[in-house]
């Protein structure tokens, strides 16, 4: 292991950057642990669920360069499967319900990915949108989803058969742990050799092919991983609100997650978290104001202003400023 004396200047800078990043993550974890004592836990859980959903989408768009218009299908699939199983089988514990919903989203992601990854650009986006709409109409007709009424009264149950999740504070920490797991998995994926290949495919796919990489296989794995994490977010959301509805399967939800990701900063780890927090907070505040009927247009106007003002998103611009001033 290199000592301080033998380190090159670049190694010292990298070490300092790692220390600052770890301190930043530790501070955020501490904030997350104390947050339910200063804010409404259910609202915080909603932010965490959508933050995980946006992070899952960002893994596909920001690091693999694949713009999906159908990610709502995975969110809804995780939610419906978890809601149905927990409602129909009371003996099933919540962690098994969430795992089942996530597994269903992974399976659906494998099918969607196999059908769409051979297309690029707008063609890829349109294929994913068409497949997601098929799932939307399936969920309207399927008997286990409750149709337009959705699934209501999904029991939270007891974690591992021991810890009751009926208390909002306990439920919050469970959701927070799931978010940390999903975020850590994405962070590890991005900084792994697999993640570096994804970035190479995003930047120059023909060159990645010429280097001998099986581009379709890498994109398929990224698609499945993204779908699974989106399903995990949907399963957790259903448990939080004890509800699974068609709103999660609608194409508007796919557009909403794109908005969250672009606002926060596509291709940044923490950008989707900031974007999700901003969008969910604005929706909550505007819904309680006289402008409640104008939530969509207001969010659209904010999105246009942000894109025109800082194309890298909030976190992307903050990173640029940090690098400019401290490096």
Structural domain includes residue 13:
no
- Domain harbouring 278, CATH code: 1.10.3470
Number of domains observed in the structure of the chain: 1
Mean pLDDT of the chain: 86
pLDDT at 326: 60
Element spanning 16, H or E: helix 9-34
Mean pLDDT calculated for residue range 69-74: 91
Q: With a cut of 50, say whether residue 216 has pLDDT above it.
A: yes
User: Which has the closest alpha carbon to 190: 24, 25, 55?
Assistant: 55
pLDDT at 204: 85
Per-range mean pLDDT, top range of 75-84, 160-169, 264-273? 75-84
What pairs with residue 159 in β-bridges?
A: 163
DSSP 85-142: HHHH-TTS-HHHHHHHHHHHHHHHHHHHHHHHTTS-HHHHHHHHHHHHHHHHHHHHH-
Structural domain includes residue 1:
no
Structural domain includes residue 231:
yes
Q: What percent of the chain has pLDDT over 70?
A: 94
Structural domain includes residue 50:
yes
pLDDT at 300: 76
Structural domain includes residue 5:
no
Q: With a cut of 50, say whether residue 118 has pLDDT above it.
A: yes
Distance CA 122, CA 289 (A): 37
Q: pTM for the whole thing? A: 0.90
Structural domain includes residue 191:
yes
Q: What percent of the chain has pLDDT over 90?
A: 39
Structural domain includes residue 18:
no
Q: Residues with Cβ < 8 Å from 188, sequence gap 6 or more?
A: none
User: Which has the closest alpha carbon to 239: 99, 32, 103, 140?
Assistant: 99
pLDDT at 1: 45
Q: With a cut of 60, say whether residue 129 has pLDDT above it.
A: yes
Q: With a cut of 50, say whether residue 304 has pLDDT above it.
A: yes
pLDDT at 306: 75
- Write down the H helix ranges in 204-289: 205-210, 215-241, 251-264, 271-287
Which range marks the domain in which residue 306 is found? 37-326
Structural domain includes residue 17:
no
């Amino acid at each position: 292991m290199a000592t301080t004396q033998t380190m090159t200047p670049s190694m010292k800078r990298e070490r300092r950057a790692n220390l600052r990043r770890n301190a930043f993550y530790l501070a955020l974890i501490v904030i997350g642990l104390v947050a339910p004592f200063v804010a409404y836990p259910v609202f915080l859980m909603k932010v965490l669920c959508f933050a995980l959903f946006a992070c899952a989408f960002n893994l596909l768009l920001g690091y693999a360069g694949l713009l999906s218009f159908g990610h709502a299908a995975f969110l809804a699939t995780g939610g419906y499967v978890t809601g149905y199983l927990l409602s129909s089988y009371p003996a099933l514990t919540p962690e098994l319900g969430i795992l089942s919903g996530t597994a269903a989203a992974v399976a659906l992601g494998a099918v969607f990915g196999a059908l769409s990854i051979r297309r690029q650009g707008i063609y890829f986006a349109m294929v994913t949108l068409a497949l997601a709409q098929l799932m939307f109409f399936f969920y309207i007709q399927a008997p286990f989803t409750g149709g337009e009424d959705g699934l209501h009264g999904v029991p939270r149950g007891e974690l591992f058969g021991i810890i009751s999740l009926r208390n909002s504070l306990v439920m919050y920490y469970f959701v927070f742990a799931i978010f940390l797991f999903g975020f850590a998995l994405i962070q590890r994926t991005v900084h792994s050799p697999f993640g570096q290949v994804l970035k190479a495919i995003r930047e120059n796919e023909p060159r990645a092919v010429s280097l001998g990489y099986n581009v379709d296989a890498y994109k398929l794995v990224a698609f499945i991983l993204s779908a699974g994490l989106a399903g995990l977010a949907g399963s957790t959301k259903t448990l939080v609100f004890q509800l699974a509805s068609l709103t999660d399967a609608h194409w508007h939800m796919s557009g909403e997650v794109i908005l969250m990701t672009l606002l926060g900063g596509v291709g940044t780890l923490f950008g989707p978290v900031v974007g999700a927090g901003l969008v969910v907070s604005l929706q909550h505040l505007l819904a309680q104001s006289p402008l409640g009927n104008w939530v969509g247009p207001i969010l659209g106007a904010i999105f246009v202003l942000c894109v025109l003002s800082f194309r890298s998103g909030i976190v992307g611009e903050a990173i640029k400023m940090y690098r400019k001033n401290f490096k």
